[in-house]
């Protein structure tokens, strides 16, 4: 009974304390609200009534009267940029920068956000100029990353390399993979200008930045092939197997071209057949099947296609198997197989072959740099449409 009596006393006391605390919080809130400029409430009202231009004017007036509202402007500017209203975002951040009393760190912040506005709007020159002003401070590294993005968009690979190196000195994660790709781009440009010496020099620098750069190895073979040294080219392309077998489909046709130039096409077809058996790649199968059928006949091609279908059933492999069976069949069986093959080809012809492992962007062509997220080496060079084997 004593316990029940004390509970009866505690409950009203707790209620009274809670009521007093809420009254205190309410008074504090009203006091703070009374200190806010009227322009703040006008801005909110304009924003709620979907009058963003008038809202900006009102919030600018607030900033002039009360420096503590700077964060409000950053939030508002970022909101406009996310909505794609970059002209309004630019206006907000430019007005912040017009304040003479803005602290240095806040000024850097405003410059960084303004640069992002220009970048989002596609005004690359103005974005570059703005980010270049941030050479030190909390936003310097972010500005350099943005500059790297700009130089990649402009395909200014030399400045991309310089910026990536600078980022590493500023404490960023190693960018060897990206730097190697920039050198590969320069090498490819040199190769197109028929300047093999410069192409080779850039590839040396690419492998120095990333010794596992498959692209540099492939391009090395391309440079040797362009110079007529097919033996050296084949040696380069074969190195891809040791680096990353997933990239072998990118050199399969090149290897056959090299072996044909040396008069050893049968040896090349045998090598591709061994790779298909070792790595079960549909893309390798496509190339190997064509040359095996041409050099060894439809029977050998049928055996190759059937073996791969038994290992990994999928639509791409089924197309080759039907094609091989069709070559050996008689009417009306041949017509039936042809019809089945056409149906599968219609099903697969528009399917994306490659998927970015970073952002999921799908494409029919292979890219070293993803068109969706701009990441380097995010595509695995293999088809993404397998049919799993049943139980």
For the annotated binding site, the residues are 356, 359, 370, 373
Helix (H) or strand (E) holding 377: none
Contacts for 286 with CB less than 8 Å, ≥ 6 apart: 316, 320
CA 148 to chain CA centroid, nearest Å: 14
| DSSP-derived secondary structure for 223-255 | HHHHTT-HHHHHHHHHHHHHH-GGGTHHHHHHH
> 250 CB contacts (<8 Å, ≥6 apart)?
218, 240, 366, 381
CB neighbour list of residue 201: distance below 8 Å, 6 or more residues apart:
none
Please, are residues 63 and 38 in contact by the beta-carbon 8 Å criterion?
Answer: no
Beta bridge partners of 356: 379
CA torsion, points 59, 64, 68, 71, in degrees to nearest 10?
A: 40
User: Quick one: which H or E segment has residue 107?
Assistant: helix 104-120
Q: Are 109 and 100 in contact (CB under 8 A)?
A: no
The separation between CA 70 and the C-alpha centre of its own chain, rounded to angstroms, equals: 34
DSSP single-letter state for residue 132: T
For residue 247, the 8-state DSSP code is G
Known binding residues for Fe cation: 356, 359, 370, 373
CA distances from 135 to 132, 138, 149 (A): 7, 10, 17
Give the 3-state secondary structure of 33-51.
Answer: HHHCCHHHHHHHHHHHCCC
Please identify which residue in the block is written with the tokens 């012809």: 349
Separation of alpha carbons 351 and 294, rounded Å: 27
369 strand-pairing partners:
376
């Amino acid at each position: 009974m004593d316990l029940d009596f004390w509970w009866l006393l505690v409950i009203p006391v707790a209620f009274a304390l809670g009521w007093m605390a809420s009254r205190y919080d309410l008074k504090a809130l009203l006091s703070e609200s009374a200190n806010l400029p009227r322009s703040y409430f006008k801005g909110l009202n304009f924003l709620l009534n979907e009058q963003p231009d008038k809202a900006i004017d009102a919030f600018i007036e607030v900033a002039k009267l009360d420096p503590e509202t700077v964060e409000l402007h950053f939030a508002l500017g970022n909101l406009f940029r996310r909505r794609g209203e970059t002209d309004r975002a630019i206006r907000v951040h430019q007005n912040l920068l017009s304040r003479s009393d803005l602290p240095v760190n806040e000024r850097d912040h405003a410059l960084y956000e303004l640069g992002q506005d220009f970048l989002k709007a596609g005004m690359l020159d103005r974005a570059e100029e703005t980010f270049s002003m941030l050479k030190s401070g909390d936003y310097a590294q972010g500005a350099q990353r943005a500059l790297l993005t700009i130089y990649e968009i402009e395909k200014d690979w030399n400045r991309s390399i310089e910026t990536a190196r600078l980022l590493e000195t500023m404490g960023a994660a190693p960018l060897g993979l990206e730097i190697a790709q920039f050198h590969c781009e320069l090498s490819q440009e040199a190769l197109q200008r028929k300047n093999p010496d410069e192409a080779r020099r850039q590839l040396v620098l690419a492998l120095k930045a990333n010794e596992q750069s498959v692209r540099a190895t492939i391009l090395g073979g391309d440079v040797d092939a362009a110079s007529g040294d097919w033996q050296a080219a084949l040696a380069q392309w074969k190195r891809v197997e040791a680096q990353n077998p997933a990239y072998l489909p990118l050199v399969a046709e090149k290897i056959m071209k090299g072996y044909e130039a040396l008069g050893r096409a049968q040896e090349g077809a045998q090598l591709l057949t061994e790779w298909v058996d070792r790595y079960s790649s549909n893309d390798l199968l496509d190339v190997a099947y064509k040359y095996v059928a041409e050099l060894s006949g439809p029977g050998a091609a049928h055996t190759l296609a059937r073996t791969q279908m038994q290992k990994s059933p999928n639509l791409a492999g089924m197309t080759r198997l039907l094609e091989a069976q069709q070559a050996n069949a008689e009417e009306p069986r041949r017509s039936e197989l042809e019809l089945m093959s056409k149906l599968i080809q219609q099903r697969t012809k528009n399917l994306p072959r490659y998927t970015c492992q970073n952002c999921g962007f799908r494409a029919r062509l292979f890219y070293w740099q993803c068109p969706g997220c701009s990441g380097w080496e995010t595509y695995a060079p293999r088809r993404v449409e397998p049919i799993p084997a049943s139980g």
